[in-house]
Each structure stands twice: as structure tokens, then as C-alpha cells.
Amino acid sequence: QKEVEQNSGPLSVPEGAIASLNCTYSDRGSQSFFWYRQYSGKSPELIMFIYSNGDKEDGRFTAQLNKASQYVSLLIRDSQPSDSATYLCARERGEGGGNKLTFGTGTQLKVEL
């Protein structure tokens, strides 16, 4: 079982819709979770991080964490074509290994006009 699992997609949503991206993790010792956006050929760009159960909102983005279910999600409201990218979920264990991140394989999002 992979430590961080994501559906590779592609996930297609119409412009203006809500895109829902999901991620599960296996290590209950995981403490913090991150969503990165990666355009083709570019490096990952941090969108949000979350470490408490519940929701965290930032503009059009909402991260949701449920530690009991080992589940993290990212909602993108009013999706725009510029949101089309691969979204990487990552977890940080929070032990003495620095801020090492373990990433999922990413979900490709396509926002269609």
C-alpha cells in the first residue's frame, strides 16, 4: 500500500464548477498535509497546508482533513481553465526527519470551457 494515494485522473470539470480532489494516506503518524499544484514541465507550487481536522479555506480553495478516516481533500470553487494542472497531495510526518514530504502520484485536473 502506498503511503499517499491519489486517483491519477484526469478529472474533468466544466468552468465555474467545483473540483474535488481526494487523497488518502496510510501512516497515522502523519501530522501535516499539503496540496501542491504542478503545471506540465514546471516545479510544484504550494497551494495550501492543513494539520487540524476540519476545513481550511483560502480564497477559492478549501482543504479538508479527516484524520480518523485518513483522508484529505481539496475543493476548488469556481474552477477556471488556469486551474488545469496536476495536483499533488503530500504528508509530513513531523518526526526528527526534518520537513521531509511524501507525495502521492498526483491527480490531473482539466477545466473545460
Partner 1 sequence: DTGVSQDPRHKITKRGQNVTFRCDPISEHNRLYWYRQTLGQGPEFLTYFQNEAQLEKSRLLSDRFSAERPKGSFSTLEIQRTEQGDSAMYLCASSGPTGDLFGYTFGSGTRLTVV
Residues at the interface with partner 1 (CB under 8 A)? 4, 8, 32, 34, 42-46, 49, 88, 90, 92, 97-106
Amino acid identity of 84? S
Residue 90 · residue 36 · CB < 8 Å: yes
**Grid coordinates belonging to 52:** 487540524
Q: Residue 41 Cβ, how far from partner 1 at the closest point, in Å?
A: 8
Q: Residue 14 Cβ, how far from partner 1 at the closest point, in Å?
A: 25
Closer to partner 1 at the Cβ: 40 or 82? Answer: 40
Closer to partner 1 at the Cβ: 29 or 97? Answer: 97
- Helix or strand or coil: residue 3? coil
Closer to partner 1 at the Cβ: 74 or 104? Answer: 104
Rounded CA gap, 59 and 63, in Å? 11
Q: Residue 35 Cβ, how far from partner 1 at the closest point, in Å?
A: 12
Give residue 86's Cα distance to chain centre: 9
Q: Up-side HSE of residue 69: CA atoms within 13 Å toward CB? A: 11
Q: Residue 71 Cβ, how far from partner 1 at the closest point, in Å?
A: 18
Closer to partner 1 at the Cβ: 49 or 61? Answer: 49
